[in-house]
Amino acid sequence: MKKLYTLLFITLASASFAQGPFTGTYTFASVTNSTGLTDPTPVPTTAGMTFGSFIGVNPAALNSTAGGRFSLDNQPNGGLSGDNTYAAYTGTLSTSHYFEVTVSPNVGTTYDLTGITFRQQRSGTGVRTYSVRSSVDGFAANLPASINPANTELSVESGNVFFRVLDTNTGHNGSTITLSGPSFTGLTTPVTFRFYGWNAEGTGTGGTFSIDDVAISGNVITLSSSSFNAIDGLTMYPNPLNGNTLYLTSTANADMSVQIFDIVGKEVVKSTVINNSINVSGLNAGVYIVKVTEEGKTATRKLVIQ
C-alpha cells in the first residue's frame, strides 16, 4: 500500500518533490596539531544540505592536541583522579569551551534532524563529563542523550550529561543524541550544535576533550520550481502553520481545490477553498505537499505544520 501511495504522489508531483534520509559524518582526517581551530577536512556532502566545518572554541587553545580527531586541552576542571562516582564531581559546563558545527538547508529545501552519534576520548587528566546543545533553544539545555550500543565505561546522568565511568583515556563509541519533535522537524533555517566537555581532573591546567566520527542524521525534502508558480500570484499562509486554518489567495481569485499529501504520498486532505481558507485541524506536525488547482492550472507548495 505504501508503494501505491508513493507512486500516486510521484504522478502528481514528481517534478516538484524529492525526499530521502541523510547522514553526514565528520572524520577529522586532516586535523593535525598544527591545523588551528577549524577542521580542514572536506565537509560531508548530501543533496539539498550544506554542512559547515567544525570549529573549536577555547580561550587557551591554538591547535588540536592530536591528529585524526578534534582534541582541545585546557578544559574546565572539577574531576577527581581515580574517582568513579559521578556525585563527587563539582565542575560546571563552561559556555566558552566547546566544539561547534552548523548544518543548513539549501534553497527550496526543508529538513528534519533525527540524531547524532560520536566517539569521545580524553587524556589521562581529561574531561569526565560532556554534553551536546543546539541553537534551537539558544544552547540552553542538553539534548537527549543515550549510549548505543551499550558501553560499560560510559553512562548518562541526570540532565542528559554523559559521564566517563572509568578513569581511562581510551576512545569510546556509543555517545548518542536523539533529535525529535517539532523543534527538529520541518526546518528551513540552519541549526548549530555545540559539544561541551568539563570536569577535567586536577586543579591546574585541565586535560583534553576529544571528539571523532561525528555523524549527523536526518531527512531532506526538496521542492523544485518546475510547478511552483503555475498559478499566478498564488500565496499560501501562514507557513509554517501553528493553527488549524490555512489561507490561499491568487491573482485570479477564482474557485480553488486543494489536495494535501504527506511525505510518503498519501492524500490526507481533499477540499475546496471557501473564503480563501481550508481547515487542516486533522493534520499532525510535519511536512506536507499541497497541490492547488485553479481554472485548469495546478501548482504545488511545501507546507510545514508545527
Instruction: Give the single-character DSSP code of 137.
Output: G
Residues 157 and 146: beta-carbon distance below 8 Å: no
C-alpha cell at 49: 544540505
pLDDT band at 286 (very low <50, low <70, confident <90, very high): confident
Among candidate residues 222, 257, 285, the one where a domain is terminated: 222
**pLDDT tens digits, 119-158:** 999 999 999 999 999 999 999 999 999 999 999 999 999 9
Query: Is the domain of 52 the same as that of 140?
Result: yes
CA angle 290, 272, 266 (to 5 degrees): 40
Query: Is the domain of 174 the same as that of 62?
Result: yes
Count of the separate structural domains present in the chain: 2
Query: Is the domain of 261 the same as that of 172?
Result: no
Query: Is the domain of 265 the same as that of 208?
Result: no
Query: Is the domain of 232 the same as that of 177?
Result: no
Mean pLDDT of the 244-261 span: 93
Residues 304 and 280: beta-carbon distance below 8 Å: no
| More confident call, 88 vs 221 | 88
Query: Is the domain of 229 the same as that of 215?
Result: no
pLDDT band at 1 (very low <50, low <70, confident <90, very high): very low
Residues 261 and 12: beta-carbon distance below 8 Å: yes
Query: Is the domain of 40 the same as that of 131?
Result: yes
Query: Is the domain of 169 the same as that of 89?
Result: yes
Q: What is the pTM of this model?
A: 0.75
What pLDDT sits at residue 172? 97
Among candidate residues 222, 257, 287, the one where a domain is terminated: 222
User: Domain limits at 262?
Assistant: 225-305
Query: Is the domain of 77 the same as that of 196?
Result: yes
Residue 190 lies in a domain: yes
